[in-house]
Amino acid sequence: MTNATEQTFVTEIRQLDAKGSGQAVVWRENELGNPKKLKLTIPQTLPGEKVRVTVDQPERRRRRANPDEILEAHPERLAPPCPHFDRCGGCVWQHWQYSGQLQQKTNHVKHAIEEQGFDPALVRDTIGMDEPWHYRNKMEFTFAPDGSLGLHEQGNFRKVISLETCLIAGKEMVEAAMEVAEWVKAYQLTGYDKDTHEGLLRHLMVRQSFATGEMMLALFATEGPTGKLEQASQDLVGRIGEKFPQVKSLLWLENTDWADRTQSEKSHILAGRDFIYDEMAGYRYRLWFDTFFQTNPTQAAKLVEIALEMGQPKKTEKMIDLFCGVGTFSLPFASRVAELAGIEIVETSIASAKRNAEDNGITNTYFLAKDARMGIDQVLESFGHPELLMLDPPRSGAGGKVMRKIGRSKPERIVYVSCNPDTFATDIKELAPFGYTLKAVQPVDLFPHTVHVECVALLVRNED
């Protein structure tokens, strides 16, 4: 039964929005009897489905509501395997056959580049996973004020859904997280309340190398493991050490900032060291709690392989790796070129890149901690013009100014690795006036059951 402020509609899902939820339009009469459009966002639905949905405050122009019933289901609809799927915000597409997800991602990339005037036929089919579960090597769980551990509710960052499992995280990672959750209950520790800014535990970061097996557990708390917390922290060391010998880094990190981020003002190593070792594409990396590293190692290795295949690095060439991070792409490319210069604004990442190069015996690299736009100028002055340039910018893209700098530096080939097809498309449009032609775009699915898709693209400079 609906109340006076609710109305039930039967409607068809037209398309999906950027967050993977269904979009529909219904018409209702306003108080004067005139037709009025109501745009609906309906999670966990698929294009073409007919659904019954009850909407509160239907007099508004836009509303979000879960479906009451799927009246006509998409042929690729599945029963989601995770018991938390209906509420947890970690995944959005567990109800969709994986082949359908991949096609949606291919279409997204095609649409993005077509909107900017490029030929969608240049986009290849998205490369998926043979086993699209338990693929993440890093998870950030959140504590609710009552101390329970989980992930944020769909569309509501104020609420935490307590978890018993997670089907996208590595299995051992989930088991270790659940052990921490049991420890929290045993000591009746509080979680952090985002409204009152009170409580002890904020986040639990778990990361594990699928190559070495080493695991890190990092607790983020509003105070250190001293005084009344010393006994509890030592008990945690004992519990983890007994059940999870693969944990080589057990950290307690103090964070009193109001911002809801996994950051640290003071670090305490409870056991082991403050980093773990990981490997990718035959190279070894050190990972700290704040190190950015691809969270799907299986597919990330494919990204590196595709980038090398497209870039065709040569031993006689110079190369720039823009937004190089800790050297994920730098090291494999550096082994194949004469010299490589990496540019990254995050100083700790550059320190890690230098250390990773040293650990792997690579001596032909130069890493610069600087903003991309300023860094290009500095590198060009001392390094000269590169034959090959690669960039892997954040979701916001590189931006027009950086792309025009790239165009003026005149590399023969540009390999662009993107985690956002829309900003990728607007970025590469900036290169057209400099004589660059888009040759190929290869989407790769690093995040099954979510809307995100990465892609690797090759642009070649035309002969003058």
Give me the active site residues, please: 419
Identity of the amino acid at 328: T
Strand partners, 454: 444
* Burial bucket for residue 297 (CB in 10 Å: 0-12, 13-18, 19+): buried
Dist CA 132 CA 299 (whole Å)? 10
CB 148 within 8 A of CB 181: yes
| Pairing of the two strands 35-42 and 22-29 | antiparallel
Task: Output Rg (C-alpha) for the chain, integer angstroms.
Answer: 24
Give the three-class secondary structure for 89. coil
Dist CA 286 CA 356 (whole Å)? 7
By C-alpha distance, which of 385, 211, 376, 390 is closest to 309? 390
DSSP state of 351: H
Strand partners, 366: 341
Q: How many CB atoms within 10 Å of residue 394?
A: 12
Tokens of 83: 């018991």
| Pairing of the two strands 454-461 and 413-418 | antiparallel
Dist CA 172 CA 17 (whole Å)? 34
Dist CA 166 CA 83 (whole Å)? 9
CB 113 within 8 A of CB 179: no
Dist CA 171 CA 313 (whole Å)? 37
> For residue 179, what is the enclosing H or E element?
helix 171-186
Strand partners, 266: 254
Identity of the amino acid at 386: P
Dist CA 21 CA 51 (whole Å)? 13
CB 152 within 8 A of CB 89: yes
CB 71 within 8 A of CB 27: no
